[in-house]
Amino acid sequence: KQEVTQIPAALSVPEGENLVLNCSFTDSAIYNLQWFRQDPGKGLTSLLLIQSSQREQTSGRLNASLDKSSGRSTLYIAASQPGDSATYLCAVIYSGAGSYQLTFGKGTKLSVIP
Amino acid sequence: DTGVSQNPRHKITKRGQNVTFRCDPISEHNRLYWYRQTLGQGPEFLTYFQNEAQLEKSRLLSDRFSAERPKGSFSTLEIQRTEQGDSAMYLCASSLVKGSHSPLHFGNGTRLTVT
């Protein structure tokens, strides 16, 4: 069974700091990995999707990397802002058994202090 | 607004009642997913549709749960004889799959409270 772990569970940083969120998964046979942002009481907003053949994706101040062999992904946020405060979730689509369900981690709750 | 739309946003019901939620996906998306999320947890997969066909169901989806996507557009999720353990946020997502997977786009969810 694919399991996704996110460390730390919560992170508090001062505004302007660069930061890294970590995600690990137990089975390297994945189709892709996706990072999401979730604001309190809201749905998920897709940030970046990395296909299994890719090593990284960038969007603005965000950069996500993927290392399938070690079962790890990182989300790098540059020059953090208070508006970045949210819970960040990573999820994988596992390519085994023809399933196309996303398996999520529990998320990292980020607080950016002004 | 061309995003995923879910209704209602909130639903409070008494134990034993039936509830139905609706999801309108992004119009050109051929896949539609239902997930359930409880406090402090990541979303858990329930089921997904490719057009109107329901292709996969999680073991979380008990016999009291039924989902439909009759014309390959909007979908409904019905929970019969609700239990307190059904209280959660129910999230719908859609994607366009042509050969490879595109990002999932989620709605804002329906929060169900069973009293």
* CB–CB contact B42 A51 (8 Å): no
Which among B1, B31, B104 is the top mutation candidate for probing chain A, defined by the most A β-carbons within 10 Å of its own β-carbon?
Answer: B104
How far apart CA A112 and CA A2 sit, in angstroms, is 31
* CB–CB contact A104 B4 (8 Å): no
Q: Is the pLDDT of residue A97 over 60?
A: no
Cβ contacts of A100 on chain B, cutoff 8 Å: 31, 48, 55-56, 97, 101
Cβ contacts of B100 on chain A, cutoff 8 Å: 31, 51
Supply the pLDDT for residue B100.
Answer: 64
Mean pLDDT of A57-83: 96
Give the residue on A whose Cα is nearest the Cα of B109.
Answer: A43
How far apart CA A65 and CA A86 sit, in angstroms, is 20
Supply the pLDDT for residue A2.
Answer: 81
pLDDT tens digits for range A5-56: 999 999 999 999 999 999 999 988 888 899 999 999 889 999 999 988 999 9
Q: Is the pLDDT of residue B23 over 80?
A: yes
Supply the pLDDT for residue A41.
Answer: 86
Question: Hunting for tokens 């981690």 — which residue is that?
Answer: A105
Supply the pLDDT for residue A17.
Answer: 97
Supply the pLDDT for residue A27.
Answer: 84
Of B33, B101, B104, Cβ closest to residue A31: B101
| Residue among A84, A92, A40 nearest A62 (CA) | A84
Mean pLDDT of A54-80: 96
Give the residue on B whose Cα is nearest the Cα of A10.
Answer: B40
Q: Is the pLDDT of residue B4 over 80?
A: yes
Give the pLDDT band (50/70/90) at residue A98.
low
Q: Is the model more confident about B58 or about B21?
A: B21
pLDDT > 70 in chain B, percent: 97
Whether chain B has a CB inside 8 Å of the CB on A31: the answer is: yes
Which among A94, A102, A108 is the top mutation candidate for probing chain B, defined by the most B β-carbons within 10 Å of its own β-carbon?
Answer: A102
How far apart CA A7 and CA B91 sit, in angstroms, is 24
Of A45, A93, A99, Cβ closest to residue B101: A93
Whether chain B has a CB inside 8 Å of the CB on A89: the answer is: yes
pLDDT tens digits for range B92-102: 999 987 766 67
Cβ contacts of A37 on chain B, cutoff 8 Å: none
Q: What are all long-range contacts of A77-81, with beta carbons under 8 Å and residues at least 24 apart?
A: A77/A18, A77/A19, A77/A20, A77/A21, A77/A110, A78/A18, A79/A16, A79/A17, A79/A18, A80/A13, A80/A15, A80/A16, A80/A17, A80/A18, A80/A19, A80/A110, A80/A112, A81/A15, A81/A112
Give the pLDDT band (50/70/90) at residue A68.
very high
Supply the pLDDT for residue B101.
Answer: 67
For B6-55, the DSSP string reads: EE-SEEEE-TT--EEEEEE--TT--EEEEEEE-TTS--EEEEEEETTEEE
Q: Is the pLDDT of residue A1 over 80?
A: no
Q: Judge residue B10's burial from the number of C-beta atoms within 10 Å of its C-beta, 0-12 exposed, 13-18 middle, 19 or more buried.
A: exposed
